[in-house]
Chain A
Amino acid sequence: MGDLDLSGAFSGITTDALLEALFLVVLASILIMLVQNLLPRLAHTLGGKPRLYLLASVPLLRLVVIVVTIILVVPVLVEPSFENMVAIFGALGLALGFAFKDYANSLIAGIVTLYEMPYRPGDWIEVNGQYGEVKSIGTRSAEIVTPDDDVVIIPHSTLWTALIANANDGTDNLMCVTEFHVEPHHDVSAVLSLLRDMAYTSPLVKTWQPVLVTVRNTPYGMQYKVKAYPLAPREQFRFITDLTARGAEALATQGVRMVSVPVAVV
């Protein structure tokens, strides 16, 4: 095996080769930009599963473009011999190991993200107390938008340590839980069936998914939980609002009063 000569590996780079490589990189950047801008816009004009599939394809397409670009650019700049490759990747490894450790960590986690898919664009996730919809998955980080329209950047390296809760996990099924706290001493069976009817008759409910109503005693009264699925994950807040309003009205007509915690306790 000969000496690993890094400067020798790049000695053959000419201006033409540099320009060609630059052209490929610019072309790849434009392609990535188009993919990242056009596909999400197109996805928003569609609904249901096509929207989710299209959003999920964005990071994958970007990875494909990057890999293809590297495959095309490297032979343009250096002769792809064994010695040259070892020299380049050795130098790259050193640079990543010392200077860009955290960045490389996120990059690798980003690739793992595409493979394991703990979250995809369109998923509703909670990481370190931040809940929101994954809008995009970049090379180093993912962007989520919270219900209050804040953009939160989550480095992919968080994947190694944090607990990630995914509410819909790549599907368009996201369970919503609506709670009602009411005074005891009422007909529990009647309220259970009333709340079930109330949920089934919401125009936002997915009727083919189960609608469950549970009840339990608490020190301050009885707690009912209505568990149901909205038509689309992004309807979850509207759905909970709708169920809360309908449920409150239905309980009032039955003479079942809500309870609230005194302000002093809060």
Chain B
Amino acid sequence: MANVAEKETINPELPGGLIPLESWRLPETSVHRSIKGALRNTWIQVRAGFSPDDEAFESLDDLPVLSRGQIERFAPDPDYGRIARLLLQSVVESPVNNPVSFLVAPPFSGVRKALTVLADEDSGHSRHLIMPPDNLLMSDSDAREWWDACDFSTPWVIPELASFWLRHRSGLALVRELLRRVAAGEAGEGLIGCSSWCWQFWSYYLPDARFQPLTPAPMDAGKLGLWLGGLGVPSSDSGVVARMADTGLWVLPSDPDVLGEGQKTANFLRDLAALSRGIPGIALGIWQKALRARPEEEQLEPLEKGDHQSVRAQCWVAPLNKLSLPVVPSAAGRGLAFILHALLLHDGLGGDRLELVTGMKGHEAALALNRLLRADLVEYHESDGVWRVTPLGYPAIRRQLQSDGFPVDAF
């Protein structure tokens, strides 16, 4: 009965809701898969030292990938407006009763996009957006003046705190002053989204800063099944149906109660949850790469609503070991790692700021960025003019940075 009650309350768009930061746990996988993954990663790391040419993502199976239209049908981006409403509702219902709430989440969790939508007038919400100034290098007095000029009288939202600082001795003042005001209760009612990497830095820099942050629950196999299943088709439909391309075992629907007798489920979602570290954006990126079509189904017309049998026939999933995800190229120096770490700390940076933060010369940064771009580890976002790491590259990047001794996030 408890399970039934739980299923009824789980929301497919934000399964698990918000939880305290300390409660977050990495989704588990099988021992076999863990050992295999560790050996594979070590081998990739060793091999990268000898054959640096093999750098980009590739699929190792011969099934055709889905067309863009099919991906948008089966695995589209989530509805951030809906997620924003759910986040806000979860914050309000949370037992943590602070005037300013912190939502800390690993990259690609979708919190930044959702909180940006919160301030969108068309969405019907009443929180105004606080955007960072163009120049983040300022003194303590300048930072005080800047925050004095902000309107804290009505509820406000900062989608990403990482945009308010630079890892430079003059780039810390804004966040330092904001945290002081929040601690002193001088910041009104607000909601602050923060990348887990940025949060980790500030937790070390200001060890006494304790704000009881909340975070979206990690996507384990069950939640992932619910979320991915609900993404692709209207809620009135039965959801996406997917089976393993090699064994025919069922991936979606993931609930054994929905499957018929003799229909066995695959371990794909459990492994996907572990590989993506329970982060929805990364799981979705890998999911999109893993979806396959049969050649004859490429030509089919768009499905009509309610045509369940056709939907079932369309969706196949390549095993994870048939996907060669990006790897971090080997390098003699620390340049590549400096750039990747800086991009994660700031949730994306432009070229000039990247030089300032890493201390690299312009040509060094450009060469390193080009190499990372070719390896599918970073991409340039025209919309805000910054470089960011890619969702598919994130697991390898985090693993490499941790192995190289860099401070990493807690997720």
Contact = CB atoms under 8 A, between A and B. Distances in A.
B405 A232 contact: yes
B171 A48 contact: no
Interface residues on A, range: 20 to 34
A207 B205 contact: yes
A235 B313 CA distance: 56
Interface string A216-255: 0000000000000001100100000010001000100000
B277 to A, nearest CB: 19
Contact of B404 (A42, A48, A207, A250): A48
Nearest to B48: A45
B169 A250 contact: yes
Contacts of A37: none
Contact of A201 (B171, B334, B404): B171
Interface in A11-60: 42, 45-48, 50
Contacts of B341: 203
Contacts of A46: 42, 45-46, 403
A239 to B, nearest CB: 11
A172 B405 contact: yes
B359 interface: yes
A50 B204 contact: no
Given A200-B205, A201-B172, A207 B405 contact: no
A50 B167 CA distance: 29
A201 B407 contact: no
B267 interface: no
Nearest to A205: B407
A246 B169 CA distance: 9
Nearest to A245: B359
Given A197-B172, A201-B168, A206 B342 contact: no
Contacts of A201: 167-169, 171-172
Interface in B322-354: 330, 334, 338, 341-342
Interface residues of B, number: 27
B237 to A, nearest CB: 48
B403 A50 contact: yes
A198 interface: yes
B330 A232 contact: no
Given A197-B172, A198-B169, A201-B169, A206 B407 contact: yes
A160 interface: no
Contacts of B359: 203, 242, 246
B201 interface: yes
A42 B407 CA distance: 24
B204 A207 contact: yes
Contact of B405 (A45, A47, A194, A250): A47
A208 interface: yes
Contacts of A208: 204, 407
Contacts of B238: none
Contacts of B310: none
B49 interface: yes
A150 B387 CA distance: 42
A122 to B, nearest CB: 13
A108 to B, nearest CB: 36
A236 to B, nearest CB: 12
Contacts of A50: 42, 403
A45 B404 contact: no
A197 B204 CA distance: 12
B34 interface: no
A117 B334 CA distance: 30
Interface string A185-201: 00000000010011011
A44 B169 CA distance: 33
B357 interface: yes
Nearest to A190: B140
A42 B46 CA distance: 7
Nearest to B406: A231
Given A46-B403, A50-B403, A231-B404, A203 B342 contact: yes
Contacts of A45: 45-46, 49, 330
A203 B265 CA distance: 46
B326 to A, nearest CB: 18
B358 interface: yes
A203 B344 CA distance: 13
Contacts of B205: 200, 207
A50 B42 CA distance: 10
Given A203-B338, A208-B204, A242-B359, A231 B169 contact: no
Nearest to A194: B169
B402 interface: yes
Nearest to A199: B169
Nearest to B333: A238
A200 B410 CA distance: 19
A45 B403 CA distance: 11
Q: Top 5 A-B pairs ranked by shortest CB distance?
A: A45-B49, A207-B204, A231-B405, A197-B169, A47-B404
Given A45-B45, A231-B404, 15 more contacts: A45-B46, A45-B330, A46-B46, A48-B402, A48-B403, A50-B42, A194-B169, A197-B169, A200-B204, A201-B167, A201-B172, A203-B334, A203-B358, A207-B407, A246-B359
23 contacts: A45-B45, A45-B46, A45-B49, A46-B42, A46-B46, A46-B403, A47-B403, A48-B403, A172-B405, A197-B169, A198-B169, A200-B204, A201-B167, A201-B169, A201-B172, A203-B342, A204-B334, A206-B407, A207-B201, A208-B407, A231-B404, A246-B359, A250-B169
